[in-house]
Amino acid sequence: MQLYNMTIDGVADKSTQYVDVINPATGEAFAQCQNGNVDTLNSAVSAARKAFSTWGRTSSDERRAKMHELANVLETNMPELMELITKETGKPMGGLNNVGSGMEVGGAIAWTQYTAELELAVDIAQDDADARIEVHRKPLGVVGSITPWNWPLMIAIWHVIPALRAGNTVVIKPSELTPLATMRFIELANEVLPAGVLNVVTGDGSVGAALTSHSDVNKIIFTGSTPTGKHIMASAAGNLKRLTLELGGNDAGIVLPDVDVKSTAAQLFGACFHNNGQTCAALKRLYVHEDIYEEICAEMAEHAKKVTVGNGLEEGVELGPIQNEKQLQIVMELAADAKANGGRFVAGGNRIEGPGYFFEPTLVADLKDGSRLVDEEPFGPIVPIIKYSDINDVITTSNQNDCGLGGSIWSADIEKATELAKSMECGSVWINTHGAVQPNMPFGGIKQSGFGVEFGLYGLEECTSIQALRIPK
Ligand code: NDP
């Protein structure tokens, strides 16, 4: 079985035990990795601190060039990374609407290239006979990154590349469920970067907790659940760490009666089910106007019945398994609750028997706000379709959810949709699409979905502090 090591201070660390990594399509181990602990974490933070003294002083040009070299590393090793991602997450190589491992590695390359080209210019607040005031952006020091299991490599890139580009050094702790693509990328990246600049430590949540409380770490970038985000916020208080918390979402999509039913249903199906609904900004609560409600339900059900579910390594598979057994149990529990509370299953509803953690793509009609499947994030292939009659009422009720990550309005009238979009309480709103993240559009949540933004100059600036410099004339 292939073995994967942590990389600390530029070298492979083999000081701990190896543990199995499971392929969710088979339920069986396919590789093993080092299981880190608090000691390895401390070594990694020391290495990152030491490396910061030189990396933090490199020129912007030097760091830009290094980021492009990292993009080349991703590109050169794309087939290997794609296969690792498919084996550890279960997501198909291609996937529904091409949202699969190919897109994950392709996206990682695109984000790296885009972020490489960003510049933190010096801002001039005053320049007159009295004084010149310059506002500089300085790196923070050591950034800790904690990533989830749904898009392990892409999210690692979203954390790591802006941190490095701004002059910080990094210690990353991937989810113990999906550590391999990240470990392999960081091993390869260390052929390009100076030792200690980018380190990876594995292990369970206790290693993540030690990273968030470490007195020599200056910032945490975290993507994961809201409860863990709250733990991190408390744990980071000791040395006043900066935080970017990208937490759970329960995004609403509101469909107006003027849409073309057939084409909209196809797009909605993709927005809800790509990566099996295991995406923070997937469409998770679908509100449809009563005039087209039954038609949308029927069209989407056709897509659910036709979509190919299976092992993501096989050609033509569009949806893989749920990534882990615990998440499958959450989905099954929410399906049972929906059934018990009057949900009408227009597609799916059951676990797919056999090895692996498969569940049928499931659509549930006739539920209302206040039912668990509507109020809670299932993070799996099950979506409630809720009927509404008044647009103002539905905006109000959909905003009552605790989460505020993304939202969407679907309409033929772009002007009207744009006005409605502005009244949605969430960090990103899309019109006639959903979850369309891109490197130049800031992305982050409000309410229980966290705070801070990623991507573009806004995201890069969050990896810096301001130094204001007053030069007398
Ligand atoms: P968690 O929030 O528990 O895990 C995310 C990451 O945090 C993992 O690397 C995990 O490590 C680490 N971690 C766990 N506990 C701590 C801690 N106390 N301090 C620091 N780091 C910690 O998410 P789960 O994987 O358990 O998923 C649970 C729910 O979270 C899902 O049902 C879904 O609703 C939501 N979620 C949201 C995601 C998003 O993109 N916003 C992504 C994934 C999940 P380890 O896994 O090794 O324990």
Nearest ligand 1 atom to alpha carbon 209: 19
φ/ψ of residue 250, rounded to 5:
-140, 65
Instruction: Return the H-helix or E-strand segment holding 78.
Output: helix 78-89
- Co-location of 23 and 101 in the same domain: yes
Beta bridge partners of 243: 220
Of 362, 386, 420, the closest CA to residue 289 belongs to 386
Threshold 0.75, pTM exceeds = yes
Of 380, 110, 154, the closest CA to residue 246 belongs to 154
Write the residue with the smallest CA distance to atom 19 of ligand 1. 209
What average pLDDT score do residues 271-276 get?
A: 97
Instruction: For residue 89, tell me if it sits in a domain.
Output: yes
Instruction: For residue 131, tell me if it sits in a domain.
Output: yes
Residues 6 or more apart from 81 whose CB is under 8 A from it?
A: 74, 101, 105, 153, 181, 184, 185
C-alpha to C-alpha distance for 11 and 185, rounded to whole angstroms: 13
pLDDT at 205: 87
Average pLDDT of the chain to the nearest whole number: 98
**pLDDT tier at 455, thresholds 50, 70, 90:** very high
- Co-location of 29 and 106 in the same domain: yes
Instruction: For residue 444, tell me if it sits in a domain.
Output: no
Number of C-beta neighbours around residue 171 at 10 A: 28
**pLDDT tier at 137, thresholds 50, 70, 90:** very high
pLDDT at 289: 98
Query: How many Å lie between the centroid of ligand 1 and the Cα of residue 379?
Result: 12
φ/ψ of residue 386, rounded to 5:
-110, 135
Query: How many Å lie between the centroid of ligand 1 and the Cα of residue 163?
Result: 21
- Co-location of 377 and 463 in the same domain: no
Instruction: For residue 183, tell me if it sits in a domain.
Output: yes
- Co-location of 347 and 242 in the same domain: no
Query: How many Å lie between the centroid of ligand 1 and the Cα of residue 247?
Result: 9
Write the residue with the smallest CA distance to atom 12 of ligand 1. 205
- Report pLDDT digits (tens) over 409-445: 999 999 999 999 999 999 999 999 999 999 999 999 9
Instruction: For residue 99, tell me if it sits in a domain.
Output: yes
Instruction: For residue 186, tell me if it sits in a domain.
Output: yes
Structural domain count of the chain: 2
Query: How many Å lie between the centroid of ligand 1 and the Cα of residue 172?
Result: 14
Question: Catalytic positions, please?
Answer: 246, 280
Query: How many Å lie between the centroid of ligand 1 and the Cα of residue 225?
Result: 5
CATH code for the domain of 30? 3.40.605.10
Range of the domain at 16: 2-247+449-472
Nearest ligand 1 atom to alpha carbon 248: 41
Instruction: For residue 177, tell me if it sits in a domain.
Output: yes
Write the residue with the smallest CA distance to atom 15 of ligand 1. 205
- Co-location of 240 and 323 in the same domain: no
pLDDT at 377: 96
Q: To which residue do tokens 């260390």 refer?
A: 190
Tokens of 1: 């079985």
Query: How many Å lie between the centroid of ligand 1 and the Cα of residue 98?
Result: 25
Instruction: For residue 94, tell me if it sits in a domain.
Output: yes
Residues 6 or more apart from 31 whose CB is under 8 A from it?
A: 1, 2, 3, 4, 20, 21, 87, 88, 180
Which residue out of 204, 225, 243, 251 has the highest number of ligand 1 atoms within 8 Å of its CB and is therefore the one to mutate? Answer: 225
Q: CB under 6 Å to ligand 1: residues?
A: 146-150, 173, 175-177, 204-205, 208-209, 212, 223-225, 228, 231-232, 246-248, 280, 327, 330, 377, 379
What average pLDDT score do residues 388-392 get?
A: 98
- Report pLDDT digits (tens) over 152-169: 999 999 999 999 999 999
C-alpha to C-alpha distance for 24 and 241, rounded to whole angstroms: 35
Residues 6 or more apart from 277 whose CB is under 8 A from it?
A: 284, 378, 379, 380, 381, 382, 383
- Co-location of 296 and 236 in the same domain: no
- Report pLDDT digits (tens) over 48-60: 999 999 999 999 9
Write the residue with the smallest CA distance to atom 14 of ligand 1. 205
- Co-location of 92 and 140 in the same domain: yes
**pLDDT tier at 292, thresholds 50, 70, 90:** very high
- Report pLDDT digits (tens) over 187-207: 999 999 999 999 999 999 899
- Co-location of 70 and 190 in the same domain: yes
> DSSP letters of 325-378?
HHHHHHHHHHHHHHHHTT-EEEE--SBPPSSS--B--EEEES--BTBHHHHS--
Number of C-beta neighbours around residue 323 at 10 A: 27
Percent with pLDDT over 70 in the chain: 100
Tokens of 454: 């990623």
CATH code for the domain of 305? 3.40.309.10
Nearest ligand 1 atom to alpha carbon 228: 2
Exposure b/e, 285-310, CB count within 10 A at least 16 = b: bbbbbeebbeebbebbbebbeebebb
- Co-location of 289 and 383 in the same domain: yes
- Co-location of 108 and 202 in the same domain: yes
- Report pLDDT digits (tens) over 113-127: 999 999 999 999 999
What average pLDDT score do residues 228-244 get?
A: 98
- Co-location of 383 and 275 in the same domain: yes
**pLDDT tier at 13, thresholds 50, 70, 90:** very high
- Co-location of 95 and 179 in the same domain: yes
- Report pLDDT digits (tens) over 302-358: 999 999 999 999 999 999 999 999 999 999 999 999 999 999 999 999 999 999 999
Tokens of 293: 């409600």
φ/ψ of residue 433, rounded to 5:
-160, 175
pLDDT at 30: 98
Which residue out of 104, 146, 211 has the highest number of ligand 1 atoms within 8 Å of its CB and is therefore the one to mutate? Answer: 146
Burial tier of 351 (Cβ tally within 10 Å: 0-12, 13-18, 19+)? middle
Write the residue with the smallest CA distance to atom 42 of ligand 1. 224
Write the residue with the smallest CA distance to atom 29 of ligand 1. 225
- pLDDT tops 90 at residue 39: yes
Which residue out of 22, 228, 276 has the highest number of ligand 1 atoms within 8 Å of its CB and is therefore the one to mutate? Answer: 228
Query: How many Å lie between the centroid of ligand 1 and the Cα of residue 445?
Result: 16
Of 283, 305, 300, 417, the closest CA to residue 365 belongs to 300
Which residue out of 19, 38, 175 has the highest number of ligand 1 atoms within 8 Å of its CB and is therefore the one to mutate? Answer: 175
